Amino acid sequence: MNPTMNDVAAKATRRSFALRLAGGACAVACVPGAAWSATRVEEADETAVALGYKHDTKKVDAKKYPKHAATQRCNNCGLWQGAAADPWAGCSMFGRKHIAAEGWCMAWVQKPG
Ligand code: SF4
């Protein structure tokens, strides 16, 4: 059975509606540079505890981590994925969660250059 003009028009209208809906959703969620708030690491998270992560490098236990220096912060670590001025950003040690610029963990490594 061949489709009628009404069937073709209805199908085209449904497709057009779906495309407009997708476009509308993208207008909300796909704006270039739009802020996306990632989940932040909690100091009590299993990985954070294992790495001795603290949101504030000044609160790192010096006895437990004698090689830690107060000048070592996430935003001068080689694994920091943000800009120097970002307050929170990604780190390959914590997957999709963000860590604090002023934070620290035992995986700290001097940022090259
Ligand atoms: Fe911060 Fe570096 Fe540890 Fe990541 S690896 S949490 S950037 S000190």
Of all protein residues, the one whose alpha carbon is nearest to atom 3 of ligand 1 is: 105
Q: Give the Cα separation of 66 and 95 in Å (integer).
A: 26
Select from 47, 74, 109 the residue to mutate for testing ligand 1; criterion: most ligand atoms less than 8 Å from CB: 74
Separation between Cα atoms, residue 61 and residue 65, nearest integer Å: 6
73 lines ligand 1 (CB under 6 A): no
pTM of the full structure: 0.70
Residue nearest to atom 2 of ligand 1 (CA): 108
Q: Residue 53 CA: which ligand 1 atom is closest? A: 6
Closest CA to 101 of 73, 72, 78: 73
Alpha carbon of residue 17 to chain centroid: 32
- Tens of pLDDT along 7-18? 544 554 454 444
Q: Which residue has the higher pLDDT, 4 or 109?
A: 109
Q: For residue 54, what are the β-bridge partners?
A: 104
Helices within the chain (DSSP H only): 5-29, 46-51
pLDDT digits (tens, 9 = 90+) for 47-65: 999 999 999 999 999 999 9
CA atoms within 13 A on the CB side of 37: 1
